[in-house]
A and B are shown apart, each in its own frame.
Chain A
């Protein structure tokens, strides 16, 4: 039997990532899988106001920061929420804000720095330990991250290839169908279906395989999210299926043992699609809560699974 721990969509949250690494010995797992989206979405400039004084806007609230202790606390809150802080003078802030290209470049640097920190931390914490850790991006993550994961010492890349987890072939896809946000790895449903079928073609034994698709299959309970209006405001009374039809077709046709998915943070749950158990552990990264799932896999069946919330 093999014990997996699957987490997805931590979006740059430092505390969630550290909890993920610390969870491995606590939960007693054999294999840990961290699927994307790995990177965060918000840049928080800490603008200098005077000696030991800064100002920033965090989670929609203007804040004045006085002294090193408050500064350390704000930085920690920022990192734990998956945001990226940067020190700037007033002039630097005004200059950057006026130039979208500068904002993008600054943001990208901070994002990639954190990904590298994470990989270095994993190499440090996993040294000499019995756990195997796999990592793959999600649709929100830039392609440059793939090379960074490939270069890691003890973190195994798994995107767009087949890997062996104690006799279970696992294929992983970080891509998604179109979203309202024009993310780096989204593609049309036709292209996504083609891409997924190519991946499925790498598997020799579907009966014991694991399909680790970031986007959940369309029409099951794992891809329900609030409908967005033209202003991207969530409806409270209407949900839609946002999953991929290509993923649905692939899973229904090949019937792997297990389907692991993310992408829709609100749709934590498990559901059978024929013989395939589909699981989405959900995400509450912004609250610093690590949502995951522990799965006990026998050779040809899922012995049991339990959702975790750390």
Chain B
């Protein structure tokens, strides 16, 4: 664990080497550029909850598990363990990082580093990397191999995320096609590649359009979080509410009773309900900060319009395909409807 003295000395040595701002000058320059008289000097609940927005990416592994899902051996055990470690391992590293940062730097420096990392530049700052968490770790560790691995992991995550999205979204379109909530060609599977190739091409094209909009239309590096905000409500929020109510809904009772985890309870409350409650609290905090954080406020109006647009488009899409299917004699509202079991 590096002390604050060791960090400051290392930073100043690198600043001297690269002609960059030393520790104190860096803080002052960032504060001046940010238009803030003084960055915070201690912690606050507002900042603690606010960091959860970015910190939510630590749980990307759980998100990925939902796409990989049953394609593993013994999913009844593997998925449970995977979800546990998907929280424990990043959580442990996050705790270690937090304790390390707490010992190494003061709050003003951390705020300055965050501001520069998000904005990409600061006059006088000439180190050849941004002061992200990886960049700060590099300051105290100049081992070439470790530095390469740190930077490489950052790049690898980005590439992996693209690959995971390509895994997931064409399959989502395939499911829409199967449910007649989209054209039949959504269900075409290439015999050669055993994959929905047409969906892959469509998702690639749409992805390129999305990237173009992000680069050329938005002027904030945090604008991409608008998508996360949409997911918070549309995907995670709906799922959390479903999980909360699942053990208590009469029409799902048969499925609940068949679960081998139905007896997992704490103080008589099913664990899935407790997990859902924690999740909902967390999601409410995330969503609140999408509206109140200054850095995100710039595109809040745009973001809300974007949310509304996606929801309206989805509703129109649903009713269009429902009507189209009804025309050929299929009532899609019944295809997944409850059938009387007696």
Contacts and interface: CB of A to CB of B under 8 A. Distances in A.
B187 interface: yes
A161 B52 CA distance: 66
A143 interface: no
Interface string A216-237: 0000110000000000001111
B17 interface: no
A296 interface: yes
Contact of B260 (A59, A236, A303): A59
Contact of A221 (B189, B328, B336): B189
Contacts of B257: 73, 77
A15 B339 CA distance: 10
B338 A310 contact: yes
Contact of B73 (A235, A269, A303, A310): A235
A270 B328 contact: no
Contact of B334 (A18, A27, A271, A287): A27
A189 to B, nearest CB: 22
Dominant secondary structure at the B interface: loop
Highest count of chain B CB atoms <10 Å: which of A18, A27, A235: A27
B328 A296 contact: yes
Given A77-B258, A235-B73, A306-B332, A22 B340 contact: yes
Interface residues of A, number: 38
Given A1-B329, A22-B339, A308-B335, A288 B180 contact: no
Interface string A123-151: 00000000000000000000000000000
Contacts of A290: 339
A271 B335 contact: no
22 contacts: A3-B329, A18-B341, A22-B340, A23-B339, A26-B334, A26-B337, A28-B329, A28-B331, A59-B258, A77-B258, A236-B73, A270-B187, A271-B189, A286-B258, A288-B258, A303-B329, A304-B325, A306-B180, A306-B330, A307-B179, A308-B335, A309-B335
Interface of A: 1, 3, 15, 18-19, 22-23, 26-28, 59, 61, 73, 77, 80-81, 220-221, 234-237, 269-271, 286-288, 290, 294, 296, 303-304, 306-310
